[in-house]
Structure 1
Amino acid sequence: MVYYRQNGSFYCAFEEDLPLPRVEPPEEGVPMSFLFRRDPLSCRASFSVTDPRQLSADQGLGFLDLRRLGAAPELPGPAARRIEAGTLRAVNFDHPRWRFAAEAGRAGKKRLHILALGDVGSTLLTALKLLGADVLSTIGICDLNEKATRRWEFEMNQVAYPWDYSALPEVEVVDQEHLFDCDVFVFVATRGIPPVDSGVQDVRMAQFEANRGLVEHFARMAREAKFRGLFAVVSDPVDPLAKAALLESNRGEDGALDGRGLLPEQVQGYGLGVMNARAAYYAKKDLRFASFLTEGRAFGPHGEDLVIANSIAGYDDALSRELTQLAVTANLEMRRLGFKPYVAPALSSAALSLLLTLRGEWHYGSVYLDGVYLGVKNRYTPFGQEVESLELPEQLFQRISLAAEHLKAVI
């Protein structure tokens, strides 16, 4: 292990020839990042190291399965102790914005902006107003329909506790010019959802081409604004749209990918939360699925390739596939009733998951692994994004791998 220091920051690496000044190991308690080298857009630019094997492993799906991480490298005390304490951040030195990736996020309450106030956006806004006072200072709202923004500013700022009128975050109208003057940008815009009676089976994928141009437009704006916050994708299909946002933000004027836009971990899709909640709904109603409530997990995209596991330790493939199918088709049940299935997604996938994100707690969201955004259990820590790693049954891992392959075929 070699140690480096530049501009007051300490780094360590296996590579001995990095163009940085070499130094002695820093004292205990001094922040230090581990530098690795990968193609800039092939993986996350930084992540929280929780296992020594992650230092030499590819950032593929193996990060989800402890048994696939390979052999542990020999580590000297300073790095090993920081991993054990959860304070070591790994940073891709080959990423053009590696210094930004090595920085810790800003502490304190955040300013969050919501783009589009349709059914999902307005439901999300209401929930964040009521539940987000501990992590949100202000909620900005933007919509092409100026009457909609005036309406929701008027309504939301009349929601208050008696005598404690500043307890809830203020809601402000934001124009597009200032859309990225925030810590969290939430993309909820859509060009339209197929009508309830349209007969479209996979509504999410029908929306991709329509919404792709929208998310790419705002991703370019994020690049131009040098946005440093979280770009949260709520519009369907969240996983392909998240990747579209990442790629477009990293295109230069010549159309080539230059790695100077959003970092992969700056983008997250928010769609898996409701699929997990739907699985829990059915698990409460059928004792055969009860193990899901304490041992289950959800993986993959918000759609047909969803992967629900009834349990990790006691995985039952047939039972898990049955529960998966119930969760996948729950939205069709709501459509058969004659309603658009937007309330549970707006709350479980978006509002609650975003609040957990800002609190640094575990949540479901789409993380950049193996070249795709894939829904997994993760959290943002002061030392980077952390993905839950478990010993996964082979059948379950193969289902997750297949979902990732299908996502690669989309974009």
Structure 2
Amino acid sequence: MYYYNFNGATLVSLIPLEGLGPEAEPSNSWRLFAAVPGDPVLGRASFKVTHLGQLTGAGHGLEALDASRLAQVQVDERIARAVEDGRVTAVNISRPGWEKLVKWSPSSGKKRVNIVAIGDVGSTLLTGLKLLGGDVISSIGICDLSEQITARWEFEMGQINLPWDYNVFPEVEVISQENLFDCDMFVFVASKGIPPVGSQVKDVRMAQFEANAGIVKHYAKLAREKDFQGLWCAVSDPVDPLAKTAYLESNKDGNGAWDGQGLRPEQVQGFGLGVMNARAAYFARRDPRLASFLTEGRSYGPHGTGLWVANSIQNYDEEISRELTQLTVTANLKMREIGFKPYVAPALSSGALSLLLTLRGAWHCGSVFLDGVYMGVKNRYTPAGVETELLPHIPDQLFGHIREAAEHLKTIL
């Protein structure tokens, strides 16, 4: 192992690195940084190391989810123990500006959350954050094209309180677009051109992509201009391609050329898998054949086509998983058949509840940057970076579906 004291931090590498000065004894700091290779655009900028095999650069791909697909790497006891203790952050040294990452650390205390677009989804999400987020949210800013809408929801939210204990819930205030990125968490809920109930559009989510991508570009560039260092959250459909749009567009200069000076991949997350996981649980609770999902199951992939629900990690069954996946993917169409837009469960399960779990550093369902796309997996934010669940072994058939989901997302963007 090779150690360098770099920018006041300990940087470790499997191979010698040029331009970082002479090797040095590692400091006694709590956190260690591991220099890993990776694509400057489609690789992750940083992540929490959970397996020594990820030090080779394998942490950028889907193999990061499965310990049995990662190489065994020989390291000294210091690094092995640090990885075991969750104290190692991998840094992609091929990415522009990587040097800044060894000085970055998450802020403590309650967080400011700003939401753009307070329509059906936005207002429901806002209500959830207001009622449930007092432990992690300091205040909530709301912004919409309609001043009438924001005035209404500021007025409504201001009148939600417990008697004689008026500081339990976070305050809600109207903000301008200029102040949207004065926050720790930016939540994008804007949407344009949602197909009406009764339309013949089969893939409602993808029908929204072109229109919503244009809106995302605007807010991605605004985040770049403001040097936003918080979390950019995509909640609007199609969640996963919009998350990638935000990441890519924020890293383009005025001429449209990539320069890597915008949002880092881990600063963007898609919030769509939460409701898919909850829908799978809905069906699993009502059919004993599917019940294994409730204690052993997982959901992977995008919010829509490409999703795969595994009935069990320990006792994977392809046919049961296929049935549960089909029920989950088409649940939104069932709601449309009843005659309503399916927005309440997504706004709460994918939106408010998942956002709060994220702020608490808890495990949740969301799309993080893996294999060059935003892939829905079980993950959490830790002091050492984004951690994706590492399973001892993912069955070959299931891993094949995860890879198919990633390839499907690559065809979109």
Deviation at 1:23, TM superposition (A): 4.3
Deviation at 1:57, TM superposition (A): 3.8
Which position in structure 1 is the counterpart of 2:26? 26
Deviation at 1:28, TM superposition (A): 4.3
- Asked if the contact 1:25/1:78 (under 8 Å) is kept, the reply is no
Which residues in structure 2 correspond to 1:100-249 (within 5 Å)? 100-102=100-102, 103-249=104-250
* AA in 2 matched with 1:166: N
Deviation at 1:29, TM superposition (A): 4.8
What percent identity do the matched residue pairs reach?
60
* Partner deviation per Cα, 1:384-408 (whole Å, 9 max, x = no partner): 0001121111111111111111110
- Asked if the contact 1:215/1:241 (under 8 Å) is kept, the reply is yes
- Asked if the contact 2:65/2:389 (under 8 Å) is kept, the reply is yes
* Partner deviation per Cα, 1:307-362 (whole Å, 9 max, x = no partner): 00000110000110000000111111111111000000000001100000010010
For residues 110 and 100 of structure 1, do their structure 2 counterparts lie closer, same or farther at Cα, with a shift above 3 Å needed? farther
Secondary structure at the counterpart of residue 33 of structure 2: strand
Deviation at 1:190, TM superposition (A): 0.5
Which residues in structure 2 correspond to 1:68-87 (within 5 Å)? 68-70=69-71, 72-87=72-87
Deviation at 1:193, TM superposition (A): 1.0
Q: Distance in 2 between matches of 1:349 and 1:178?
A: 25
Deviation at 1:259, TM superposition (A): 0.8
Secondary structure at the counterpart of residue 285 of structure 1: coil
- Asked if the contact 1:270/1:350 (under 8 Å) is kept, the reply is yes
Q: Distance in 1 between matches of 2:37 and 2:80?
A: 20
Q: Distance in 2 between matches of 1:30 and 1:120?
A: 41
* Partner deviation per Cα, 1:101-150 (whole Å, 9 max, x = no partner): 33211111100000000000000000000000111001000000001111
Secondary structure at the counterpart of residue 333 of structure 2: helix
* AA in 2 matched with 1:108: G
Which position in structure 1 is the counterpart of 2:280? 279
- Asked if the contact 1:308/1:321 (under 8 Å) is kept, the reply is yes
Secondary structure at the counterpart of residue 219 of structure 2: helix
Cα RMSD over matched residues? 1.1
* Partner deviation per Cα, 1:216-272 (whole Å, 9 max, x = no partner): 110010011100000000000000111111110000112111111000000000000
Which position in structure 1 is the counterpart of 2:387? 386
Q: Distance in 2 between matches of 1:101 and 1:350?
A: 28
Secondary structure at the counterpart of residue 208 of structure 2: helix
Q: Which of 392, 399, 410 lines up with 1:408 in the alignment?
A: 410
Deviation at 1:25, TM superposition (A): 2.9
Q: Distance in 2 between matches of 1:168 and 1:100?
A: 35
* AA in 2 matched with 1:399: H
Q: Distance in 2 between matches of 1:194 and 1:110?
A: 35
TM-score w.r.t. the length of structure 1 is 0.98
* AA in 1 matched with 2:221: R
Which position in structure 2 is the counterpart of 1:330? 331
- Asked if the contact 1:28/1:78 (under 8 Å) is kept, the reply is no
Which position in structure 2 is the counterpart of 1:342? 343
- Asked if the contact 1:223/1:261 (under 8 Å) is kept, the reply is yes
Aligned residue pairs, count? 410
Deviation at 1:18, TM superposition (A): 3.1
- Asked if the contact 1:2/1:22 (under 8 Å) is kept, the reply is no
The yes-or-no answer on 1:300 pairing with 2:275 is no
Secondary structure at the counterpart of residue 204 of structure 1: helix
Query: Is there any run of 5+ residues in structure 1 with no aligned partner, and where?
Result: none
